[in-house]
Amino acid sequence: MKTIDELLSEGVAGKRVFVRADLNVPLDGTTITDDGRIRAVLPTVKALADAGARVVVASHLGRPKGAPDPAFSLAPAAARLGELLGADVPFATDTVGESARSTVAALADGQVAVVENLRFNAGETSKDDAERGAFADQLAALADLYVGDGFGAVHRKHASVYDLPGRLPHAAGYLIAKEVAVLKKLTEDLQRPYVVALGGAKVSDKLAVIDQLLGRADRILIGGGMAYTFLKAKGYEVGSSLLQEDQIPAVQEYLERAEKTGVELVVPVDALSATEFPDLKTKAPAHPTTVAADAIPADQMGLDIGPETRKLYASKLADAATVFWNGPMGVFEHPDYAEGTKAVAQALVESKGFTVVGGGDSAAAVRTLGFDETAFGHISTGGGASLEYLEGKTLPGLAALED
């Protein structure tokens, strides 16, 4: 995989460089609530601009239906990028149309522009190779070189991620190079004990990675909504907690495999429960009850790991040489159900091992709960991409960057 440093050494002054970034930031209306992904691509954009390139930044945001939708405009991200760069960043109001062509044509050496949400064009996400390829051809007309730095999208076979690199001389940006190096530490250069903490809502989203980790990790700690399918699989009463009944046989098989292979697969011993889901807008007090994990009342749902589980998980993380964490332990967006996620994050901060926060809601939780990002070994920008890499899948966006 060619690096951006190699590209820079060959000279980029005056050349149009298409940077496929991941500016898929959370928005409250037009206000960005977490600019971590924008900050993550800054080193690549700045290096290219400082070297005199005419930088064209492109990304997706949300899931528009292949047509323009103001709710998913990249305009707020473009404005924030300009603030972080301390420079005017022109914004094209389309992807490959007149605005994009004229905006790119007007760029001076060292200037950066952003084009509108790539998913406003149906060709970006099309499963039809010809339609996707046609859109990639239009994107290629905007640039002389391609730099892939949108790690959060490399598991997608999309036009700007998979097809476009084949049409232009290409290299990996600093963020992708860093993310891949970290993932190799979790797969090829592993230091033990290796402890994985997995949370989030659905166990079905994590089955494939658990399957792989059962042959690699020393301990797997289960939290979040997915924990209740594990508890039910052990024969426990979980009340009205989130449950995927159809996944119970698979979970039971994993529990048996873990016992046979000596992998510690640890589930909660207690939980915070309530009769209803908390109001995440008003954050009104929820008054949860602490209950044993095997005796959640029939009319209550588990919404966070309990105090004994917090202590247990902290102890299981204490001696780890390598930690990977993906998924919150509870409904961390509400203060009454944030303590489980805080406890796992704090355990990573206190760890002497190499700690990786696996993107998505885990990364958002770290920032929302006020942790110093530098206290972690690495905070990934791509939860889905990280999980698929750990599952052993070939990621289209990485394969396309290979020479």
pLDDT one-digit tens code per residue, 180-216: 999 999 999 899 999 999 999 989 989 999 999 998 9
- Residue 134: CB partners within 8 Å, gap ≥ 6? 123
Judge whether 173 is annotated as a binding position: no
Judge whether 16 is annotated as a binding position: no
Residue type, 82: G
**Burial 306-333, CB ≥16 within 10 A → b, else e:** beebbebbbebbeebebbbbbbbbbbbb
- pLDDT for the residue numbered 389: 92
Show the domains of the chain with their CATH numbers: 4-174 (3.40.50.1260), 182-391 (3.40.50.1260)
- pLDDT for the residue numbered 303: 98
In contact, 162 and 125? CB cutoff 8 Å = no
In contact, 326 and 360? CB cutoff 8 Å = yes
- pLDDT for the residue numbered 317: 98
In contact, 50 and 11? CB cutoff 8 Å = no
DSSP state of 3: B
Judge whether 61 is annotated as a binding position: yes
Low-confidence ranges of the chain (pLDDT < 50): none
Q: Which of 154, 248, 167, 138 is nearest to 204 (CA)?
A: 248
Determine how β-strand 264-266 pairs with β-strand 219-222. Answer: parallel
Cα(266)–Cα(258) distance, integer angstroms: 10
Judge whether 302 is annotated as a binding position: yes
Query: Per-residue DSSP letters for 19-71?
Result: EE------EETTEES--HHHHHHHHHHHHHHHTT-EEEEE---S---SS--GG
- pLDDT for the residue numbered 364: 86
Q: Which residue has the tokens 């949300």?
A: 62
Neighbours of 290 (CB within 10 A): 12
Cα(393)–Cα(7) distance, integer angstroms: 28
DSSP bridge pairs for 379: 357
CA–CA distances in Å: residue 201 to residues 16, 64, 176? 42, 23, 27
- pLDDT for the residue numbered 49: 98
Catalytic residue positions? 37, 202, 360, 384
- Cβ-count burial of 63 within 10 angstroms (0-12 exposed, 13-18 middle, 19+ buried)? exposed
CA–CA distances in Å: residue 157 to residues 92, 124, 241? 24, 9, 35
Judge whether 192 is annotated as a binding position: no
- pLDDT for the residue numbered 68: 96
Cα(199)–Cα(259) distance, integer angstroms: 20
Q: CA 205: distance to chain centroid?
A: 13
* pTM score, whole prediction: 0.90
Judge whether 156 is annotated as a binding position: yes
- pLDDT for the residue numbered 6: 97
Judge whether 224 is annotated as a binding position: no
- pLDDT for the residue numbered 112: 98
Determine how β-strand 16-20 pairs with β-strand 378-379. Answer: unpaired
- pLDDT for the residue numbered 125: 98
Judge whether 110 is annotated as a binding position: no
Question: Token pair of 21, please?
Answer: 């970034």
DSSP bridge pairs for 222: 198
Taking the CA of residue 325 as centre, how many other CA atoms within 13 Å lie in the half-sphere pointing to its CB? 36
In contact, 315 and 211? CB cutoff 8 Å = no
- pLDDT for the residue numbered 189: 86
Q: Which of 326, 342, 364, 330 is nearest to 26 (CA)?
A: 364
- Residue 80: CB partners within 8 Å, gap ≥ 6? 25, 32, 35, 38
DSSP, collapsed to helix, strand or coil, labels residue 140 as: helix
Neighbours of 208 (CB within 10 A): 15
Judge whether 359 is annotated as a binding position: yes
